[in-house]
């Protein structure tokens, strides 16, 4: 047989494309004749039978298999993976030479042939797995290639999946390489752990039974990666003796507890924030009303100073509670993260990661709010204290400056003693 090339595809198609009647039957391609066509076909080393009004090309003299349409090609299961192919589909030439694909004789990244070959390989592979393995496990329980039927039965329970597939290749998105998913599926049977294929079978049955569309095998082929991932999760749940749903439920309860405690702390902070402007306004109003009564001003001075000190201790206490709550939460999260299941199946850890991110952002927000409140409250109260001292005329102006500096230093010192914002990692 002569060497195939895209130039040969182009030459051959140029000769027969104008012909309006082409019949492919019994290993021959019969075409209407026209002047010089016989000679031209023989010039490219094809075996031709001259029938007078028509010519018959012997298909085996072609270095490729020829089809008049995609539909004709996709109903043919008799080609081999290594066969070169030329399809003349609605005026468009689709060529396969080795592993290369050409559309109208230009090299293409289309996965048209690769996907169909992989789908064909999947059918053959499932048929192979109808045989019982040494450990008694049988992946495919029944398969009839002539009838296009395949059955999978779950080892535990009564669940089963029956599939009827058409005796033609489905249409796939030729921009997606489904062969990668099929290769990954085949590798699942080559691993050392034979138990995994049992989980793979269960995952396939579960996925297939959830498909409503008619062509289930096509959908399964296109989504083999999802089936493998689900099997992988279930397999590692089994290895780690873990129920992921129960784990999430328990964690939800724990999460609710943590967020409730956060809300309680926020409620305390909010009450103080709301009361602050009211308290300062009331104090200013009282000072204006009793500024001539030095005894009351002195009493108000003591109350504001004591309140400021007390609230500062309460804020510090709230921050310590917040730090402790955060520390316990981070310890629980670290324990979950260290579970062997999540080390293997990182995607399932996403749910817990999002909860942590939300918790961390709230804790950080509460810390900043508390610290801002501490500064605003003490600066506001310091102003009131200085204003009262000024009205009492107890200290000269120079003394007020010194008191202001001392009070500022005290505020900054105790601010530095407050619990720091946690370093979230």
**What is the predicted pLDDT for the residue at 386?**
80
Output 48 or 286, whichever has higher pLDDT.
Answer: 48
- Indicate whether 390 pLDDT > 80: no
Whether residue 76 has pLDDT greater than 60: yes
* Token pair in block for residue 336: 């979950």
Mean pLDDT of the chain: 81
What pLDDT sits at residue 109?
94
Range with the lowest mean pLDDT among 59-68, 214-223, 303-312? 303-312
Q: Which of 304, 313, 419, 283 is nearest to 364 (CA)?
A: 419
Pick the more confident residue, 49 or 395: 49
CA distance 280 to 307: 12
When pLDDT is averaged across residues 213-225 and rounded to a whole number, the result is 91
* Domains in the chain: boundaries: 6-108, 115-239, 244-417
pLDDT surpasses 70 at 57:
yes
Per-residue pLDDT at 43 exceeds 50: yes
Q: Which two tokens stand for residue 131?
A: 């045989």
Rg of the chain taking only CA atoms, in angstroms:
40
Closest CA to 65 of 55, 54, 73: 73
Picking from 188, 171, 173, 193, the residue whose alpha carbon sits closest to that of residue 224 is 188
Q: What pLDDT shows up at residue 1?
A: 43
Instruction: Report which of residues 387 and 242 the model is more confident about.
Output: 387
Paired tokens of 23 = 């019949």
- Residue 114 has a pLDDT of 94
Q: Report the C-alpha gap between 163 and 145 in whole angstroms.
A: 12
Between residues 69 and 331, the one the model is more confident about: 69
pLDDT at 101: 94
Q: Whole-prediction pTM value? A: 0.60
- For residue range 145-155, list pLDDT tens digits in order: 989 999 999 88
Using CA atoms, how far apart are residues 215 and 165, in angstroms rounded to an integer?
6
Check whether 15 has a pLDDT greater than 70. yes
3-state secondary structure the chain: CCCCCHHHHHHHHHHHCCCCCEEEECCEEEEECCCCHHHHHHHCCCCEEECCCEEEEEHHHCCCEEECCHHHHHCCCCCCCCCCEEEEECCEEEEEECCEEEECCEEECCCHHHHHHHHHHHHHHHHHCCCCCCCCCCCCCEEECCCCEEEEECCCCCCEEEEECCCCCCCCCCCCCCHHHHHHHHHCCCCCCCCHHHHHHHHHHHHHHCCCCCCHHHHHHHCHHHHHHHHHHHHHHHHCCCCHHHHHHHHHHHHHHHHHHHHHHHHHHHHHHHHHHHHHHHHHHHHHHHCCCHHHHHHHHHHHHHHHHHHHHHHHHHHHHHHHHHHHHHHHHHHHHCCHHHHHCHHHHHHHHHHHHHHHHHHHHHHHHHHHHHHHHHHHHHHHHHHHHHHHCCCCHHHHHHHHHHHHHHHHHHHHHCCCCCCCC
Could you tell me which residues are beta bridge partners of residue 162? 151
Give residue 71's pLDDT band: very low, low, confident or very high (50, 70, 90). Answer: very high
């Amino acid at each position: 047989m002569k060497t195939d090339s895209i130039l040969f595809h182009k030459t051959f198609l140029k000769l027969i494309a104008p012909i309006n009647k082409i019949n492919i039957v019994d290993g021959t391609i019969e075409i209407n004749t026209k002047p010089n066509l016989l000679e031209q076909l023989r010039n490219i080393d094809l075996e031709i039978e001259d029938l007078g009004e028509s010519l018959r090309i012997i298909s085996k003299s072609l270095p490729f298999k020829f089809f008049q349409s995609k539909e004709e090609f996709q109903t043919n299961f008799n080609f081999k993976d290594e066969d070169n192919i030329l399809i003349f589909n609605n005026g468009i030439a689709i060529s396969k030479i080795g592993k290369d694909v050409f559309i109208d004789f230009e090299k293409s990244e289309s996965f048209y042939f690769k996907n169909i070959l992989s789908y064909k390989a999947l059918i053959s592979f499932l048929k192979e797995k109808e045989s019982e393995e040494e450990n008694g496990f049988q992946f495919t329980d029944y398969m009839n290639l002539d009838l296009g039927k395949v059955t999978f039965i779950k080892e535990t329970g009564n669940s089963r999946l029956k599939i009827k597939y058409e005796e033609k290749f489905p249409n796939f998105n030729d921009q997606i390489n489904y062969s990668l998913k099929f290769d990954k599926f085949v590798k699942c049977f080559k691993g050392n752990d034979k138990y995994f294929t049992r989980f793979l079978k269960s995952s396939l049955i579960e996925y297939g039974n959830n498909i409503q569309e008619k062509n289930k095998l096509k959908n399964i082929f296109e989504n083999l990666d999802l089936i493998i991932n689900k099997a992988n999760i279930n397999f590692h749940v089994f290895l780690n003796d873990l129920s992921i749903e129960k784990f999430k439920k328990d964690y939800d309860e724990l999460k609710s507890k943590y967020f409730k405690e956060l809300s309680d702390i926020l409620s305390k902070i909010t009450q103080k924030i709301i009361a602050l402007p009211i308290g300062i306004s009331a104090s200013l109003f009282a000072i204006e009303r009793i500024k001539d009564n030095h005894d009351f001003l002195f009493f108000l001075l003591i109350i504001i100073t004591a309140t400021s000190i007390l609230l500062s201790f309460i804020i510090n206490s709230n921050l310590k509670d917040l730090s402790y709550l955060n520390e316990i939460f981070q310890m629980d999260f670290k324990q979950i993260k260290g579970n062997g299941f999540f080390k293997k199946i990182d995607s399932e850890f996403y749910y817990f990661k999002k909860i942590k991110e939300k918790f961390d952002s709230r804790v950080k927000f509460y810390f900043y709010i508390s610290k801002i409140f501490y500064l605003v409250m003490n600066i506001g109260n310091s102003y009131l204290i200085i204003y009262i001292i000024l009205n009492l005329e107890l200290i000269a102006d120079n003394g007020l400056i010194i008191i202001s500096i001392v009070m500022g230093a005290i505020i900054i010192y105790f601010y530095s003693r407050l619990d720091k914002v946690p370093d979230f990692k």
